[in-house]
Amino acid sequence: KFYRDPEMQVIKSAPSSPIGKITRKVGDLSLVKTPGSPSRRGNVSLFGGKTPNQSFNHSSIFGGGKGGGGRGLSKRDLTPSRNHNRTFNGTTGGGDRFIPSRCQTQFDYANFMPYIQPEDSTFNTSLSAPNSPQKNPEKEGMKQMMRTKSSSDMSTFNDERIFVYKKNTAPLPPTGHLNQPKVLYSTSALATSSVRRTARHIPSAPERILDAPSFIDDYYANVLDWSTSGIVAVGLGFDVYLWHSDTGDITHLIALDEENELNLVTALKWDTDGRYLAVGTMDGTVKLFDPERCTDPSTARELRKMTVDRSCRTGVLAWRNHVVSAGHKSGQILHHDVRVAKHNIGMFNGHCREVCGMKWSPDFKYLASGGGDNVVNVWNANQLSAGDATPELALNEHTSTVRAVEWCPWKTSTLATGGGMQDQTLKMWDINGGKMMKSIATGSQVTSVIFNSDYKEVMTSHGNPNYEIKIWKYPSFSEVATLGGHTARILSLAQSPCGQYVMSAAADESLRIWQCFKIDKSTAKLAQRKVLGGSIR
């Protein structure tokens, strides 16, 4: 039998025991073992019926060999080990960690989650002390992303699991998300300057709305213009007001006598320098004003008053240097040289009804005029002083009054015209050959048209039945945007000198300013570099 010697700290056997003294420390052996549990050293069980380690030499200890002094334990007295050929490092129980299956782990989702910006994270994600003077915003944001889940209730999230040990697919990233490695290590087959940009945002609401009481609802009148110096002139009945776009100030320029109906303002136009304003009235008179000299609208005196015998209402004005051309109700176009006393230097007589649309080409070589006779005439500037001038082209494809007339600024041989209620089309002309290049059905009366050079687009305003502004892509004329808000037909459009803003005037007595052509600074700089790079140094 075994007994413990407290002084020697060894295990001894009774003299009658066949097993000799074993001089091992008590701490190295676990004397009480359950079947199948390993010991700390050699996994040896000292009792028959317990589980030994098969790699251990049992006969040398228990005397079962040839030199043994007594009966040893045979193999049949030992219970076979349940953990055959299994090695333990002294730790009982299961493994220290769980290694999941890679095919069942959502690593795509785990890689995507750190890039999501939390909206309601309240954790302090600073990189150092709270009062640290320097912080890395990128790393600070990354820490905040990683801590988002720990700061919230894990039971309230909605399918935002990082590891899910089942077969599933990662959710799609939000719109506009770019994977950082993909951005860094991917290349485009096209040059950076030629990569197609995303569609720009065109505001559907105006930037500003101005009241315009007494704005006349007349299809044959043109009482809105935006000067190159940034001043908007608008005729309201017998008065003319100026709106300064840089400051927002409003100036009352002139106030004509209301008792005389012939003083009604029916046309106005700034000169090419934006300094002088020409004003046409119902009696056919053209007056010239300098806004800097007019301090009191009731006593304002015009710089020049130009009248012609038997003339009638002035419907439209157009400047060419020092010559102002006036289209009248009689169908005649009179040319006035503001420098000389005998101002009437010529006349174009090619319309049989009132002239309501007129515009000089960007190079001032041709004058296009539209009238109530459904005809668009193109005149040569060399015939200004000719007594019997005839139009070089007479375009008669429209079936209604032509009020909208505009030249393409980047292609001076292209002319755009818009028809009235019975026509409702926008037509593009090549004046070199006199042929119509394109006809676009707009669905409503076309009252005005302008071009934008930055985006190569065309804007049209419309009257009955739809009071809308439409933007078209040139030259495909696919519709880019439709702007609404006016409650009556839109009669005029005026573009700012920078080209980004457009003012619309309608019969609902309101002026609306639209920022439709906001310039992208990166695109402008790129275009500027191309121009400078192609110039001679």
Q: Which of 441, 440, 506, 418 is nearest to 468 (CA)?
A: 506
Q: What percent of the chain has pLDDT over 70?
A: 63
pLDDT of residue 43: 43
Lookup: tokens for 13:
């056997």
Helix (H, G, I), strand (E, B) or coil at 51: coil
**C-alpha distances in angstroms, 301 versus 169, 249, 256?**
79, 22, 11
pLDDT of residue 14: 47
334 vs 127, higher pLDDT: 334
pLDDT of residue 378: 98
The amino acid at residue 85 is: N
Positive or negative, the Cα torsion across 483, 486, 487, 493? negative
pLDDT of residue 21: 45
Q: How far apart are CA 160 and CA 173, in angstroms?
A: 12
Q: Which of 458, 461, 493 is nearest to 473 (CA)?
A: 458
Q: What is the pTM of this model?
A: 0.63
pLDDT of residue 299: 64
pLDDT band, residue 54 (cuts 50/70/90): very low
In the chain, how long is the greatest CA-to-CA distance? 155
pLDDT of residue 462: 97
423 vs 106, higher pLDDT: 423
Average pLDDT score over the chain:
78
pLDDT in tens, 256-293: 999 999 999 999 999 999 999 999 999 999 999 998 88
pLDDT of residue 182 exceeding 70 = no
Give mean pLDDT, residues 212-229: 96
247 vs 192, higher pLDDT: 247
Q: Which of 491, 492, 498 is nearest to 518 (CA)?
A: 498
Minimum mean pLDDT range among 181-190, 355-364, 375-384, 416-425? 181-190
pLDDT in tens, 487-520: 999 999 999 999 999 999 999 999 999 999 998 7
pLDDT of residue 298 exceeding 90 = no
Q: Element (H or E) spanning 168, and its range?
A: none
Minimum mean pLDDT range among 90-104, 179-193, 323-337, 436-450? 179-193
Give mean pLDDT, residues 111-127: 58
Give mean pLDDT, residues 218-223: 97
pLDDT of residue 39 exceeding 60 = no
pLDDT of residue 64: 46
pLDDT of residue 118 exceeding 60 = no
The amino acid at residue 339 is: R
Helix (H, G, I), strand (E, B) or coil at 103: helix
pLDDT of residue 1: 45
pLDDT of residue 520: 76
Give the DSSP letter string of 121-163.
Answer: ------SS-TT-S---HHHHHHHHHHHHHHHS-TTS-SS--S-
Is 240 exposed, middle or buried, given 0-12, 13-18 or 19+ CB atoms closer than 10 A? buried
Lookup: tokens for 203:
């505001």
pLDDT of residue 86 exceeding 60 = no
Residue 334 C-beta-side C-alpha neighbours within 13 Å = 24
pLDDT of residue 313 exceeding 70 = yes
Minimum mean pLDDT range among 92-96, 392-396, 468-472? 92-96
335 vs 181, higher pLDDT: 335
Output Rg (C-alpha) for the chain, integer angstroms: 47
Q: Which residues of the chain form CATH 2.130.10.10? A: 210-534
pLDDT band, residue 206 (cuts 50/70/90): very high
pLDDT of residue 25: 44
pLDDT of residue 27: 44
pLDDT of residue 412 exceeding 90 = yes
41 vs 327, higher pLDDT: 327
Give mean pLDDT, residues 108-120: 66
CATH of domain 210-534: 2.130.10.10
pLDDT of residue 77: 53
pLDDT in tens, 414-425: 999 999 999 999
408 vs 31, higher pLDDT: 408
